[in-house]
Structure 1
Amino acid sequence: MGERKLLGPEIVQATVDKVNIIRAKLKAAQDRQKSYADVCRKDLEFEVGDRLSPRYIGPYEIVERIGPVAYRIDMPEQLSQVHDGFYISMLRKYISDPSHVLKTPEIELRDDLSYEEQPV
C-alpha cells in the first residue's frame, strides 16, 4: 500500500505561504481598482441652504448634512413618500437659468374671486 508519513509542519507552512501570496494579489487588485476609481471621483461638498437638484427632478434646498457623503433635502408634499436623505452622487448643484422660470399668464379675478377659464 505504501508508507504513511507525518507531514504536518510542512503542509501548514506551505498553506500559510499560499495564503500570503493570495493576500498580496488581492491587495494589489484592490489598490489597482482604487486608483481607477479615484481618477473618476469628484470631491463634492455642499453647504446647508444651497439649492440642489437631485438627478432628473428639482431644484430643492439642502436642509442639513447627514454625514460626509449624505444630505437631507427639503422635499415638496407631493414627494412625501420619497426618503429625504440623498447620497452625494445623486445630487447636482443647481445653476440658475432664467429660461427655467415658467411665466404664468395674468388671471383677472372678479369681485367674487372667480375667473374665466381659457384653454391653453
Structure 2
Amino acid sequence: MATCEPLYWRRCRSPIGWFEVGEPALIGPDAILYAMKKVQLIRDKLKTSQSRKKSYADVRRRELDFLVDDWVFLKVSPVKGVMRFGNKGNINPRYLGLYKILKRFGKVAYELELPVELAAVRPVFHISLLKKCVGDPASIVPLESVVVKDSQSYKDVPVEIQLV
C-alpha cells in the first residue's frame, strides 16, 4: 500500500497532480514543496509507528523449531462458542497433551498425529500453538490409569527408574 493511501483512500498520483482531471489548478513551487514535505512527514510517521509495533511484537516472540517425531502439547482456545476440549466444570485445559509431529510445512506449520476424538479438527497447526514436551513422553502416566477410590486413596504402582 502506498504511504498516502491510508489517508486519502485512493492511490496518489504525484504531488503535482493531486487534483482531479479537468479541475483548474494553479500550482507554484511553494505548493509543490509544501506537498512534498507533507508526504515525507507521512512516510516518517508511518515508519516510526511500524517500528514501534514491531518492537512490541518482538518482545513476546520466541524462536521455536521442532523436528519431525518430536512430541508437543497443543494450545487450545478458551473462547466461548468454540469446540471445547476436555471441559471439567469451570476449568478448561490450556494445553492438550502429547501429539507427535508427522510433517513440517514451511517454517511455521506442522502436521500432528491427532487421535480419533479430534477427527473434526484439521491436523495442521501454526508453531505459536505448540509447546515442546521436555522429557521422555513414555514416562508420563495418563490420568485415566490413576483410579481414586471413594475413600480418597489409591494404590501405588512402582515405576522403573532407568539410569542414563
Q: When the two structures are superposed, what TM-score results if normalisation uses the length of structure 2?
A: 0.54
Aligned to 2:33: 13
Counterpart position of 2:115:
76
* Ranges in structure 2 where 5+ consecutive residues have no aligned partner: 1-24, 76-94, 148-164
Determine the structure 1 residue equivalent to 2:125.
86
The whole-number CA distance in structure 2 between the counterparts of 1:8 and 1:73 is: 65
Equivalent residue letter for 1:84: P
Residues 31-70 of structure 1: pairs in structure 2 closer than 5 A? 31-55=51-75, 56-70=95-109
- What is the alpha-carbon distance in structure 1 between the residues aligned to residue 26 and residue 39 of structure 2? 22
Whole-angstrom CA distance in 1 between matches of 2:29 and 2:122:
57
Q: Kindly report the root-mean-square deviation, in angstroms, between the aligned alpha carbons of the 2 structures.
A: 2.3
Structure of larger gyration radius: 1
Paired residues in the alignment total: 101
CA deviation after TM superposition for structure 1 residue 87, in Å? 0.7
Task: Please give the alpha-carbon distance, in whole angstroms, between the structure 1 residues aligned to 2:39 and 2:74.
Answer: 45
User: Partners of 1:52 and 1:9 in 2: how far apart?
Assistant: 64
Give, in whole Å, the separation in 2 of the partners of 1:39 and 1:104.
40
When normalised by structure 1's length, the TM-score is 0.71
In the alignment, which of 31, 34, 44 is matched to residue 24 of structure 1? Answer: 44
**CA 1:63/1:99 → structure 2, altered by over 3 Å: closer, same or farther?**
closer
What amino acid is aligned across from residue 13 of structure 1 in structure 2? L
Deviation at 1:104, TM superposition (A): 6.5
Q: Percent identity?
A: 41
